[in-house]
Each structure stands twice: as structure tokens, then as C-alpha cells.
Amino acid sequence: MTIFKFKDFGENLGTRMLGSMAREKLLPLILNNDKVVLDFEGVDVVSNSFADECIAKLLLQMPLEELKQKTTFANVNDFAKKNIALSLKRRQTINA
């Protein structure tokens, strides 16, 4: 199991550029490991833009079920959970 620490990108994750940078580091970990823990310890804010760019765009590489099997979330505050869930839902609608 591999741990991906979002705090390495800052306490406030707000931009698409930052989300893209994080996704570029995250995707190979997901593809090459059985399980990746998406650890948000120390992160206060995850914007819709960051969540879409970093996490939801992973759905362009794999179906949601595979993403669920290969990742798990840790230390996510309620605000971040809401934005991540919303971005995944929107991305699924776009990809459908």
C-alpha cells in the first residue's frame, strides 16, 4: 500500500494547475500499485477545480469502479469530501 500525501502540494489546494501537477504524480502510483491511500492530512481546502483536475480526470484513464478498487481516502474534511464527490459526479456525467 502506497500513501500519497496531498499536504506535499500545500494546505489549500485550489488551482487546476496544482491539480494537474498532483495528478501527474498520482496516476503512475495508482497504475503501478495495488492500493493507494489518498491522504489529505493537513489539507484545509480542496476546491472544485483542484478536485476535478486531480481526481475526477483520473476517470479519463480508468472507470470509476477501478479507481475505487485502487484508492482509498484518509483524513478528508467534510468540505473536501463534498467537492471531491461533486467533481467525480460531474466528470462521470461529462464522460457518459
* Cell output for 84: 471531491
Looking at residue 94, what is its pLDDT?
Answer: 75
Q: For the chain, first and last CA: distance in Å?
A: 31
> Could you tell me which of 45, 33, 24 has the C-alpha nearest to residue 2?
33
CA distance 24 to 79: 24
Average pLDDT on 73-86 reads 96
pLDDT in tens, 6-49: 999 999 999 999 999 999 999 999 999 999 999 999 999 999 99
4 has a pLDDT exceeding 60: yes
Looking at residue 95, what is its pLDDT?
Answer: 64
More confident residue, 41 or 95: 41
pLDDT in tens, 46-62: 999 999 999 999 999 99
Residue 46 has φ and ψ, to the nearest 5°, of: -125, 110
Looking at residue 92, what is its pLDDT?
Answer: 83
Bridge partners (DSSP) listed for residue 65 = none
CA dist 52 → 1, 31, 32, 33, 34 (Å): 24, 19, 22, 22, 23
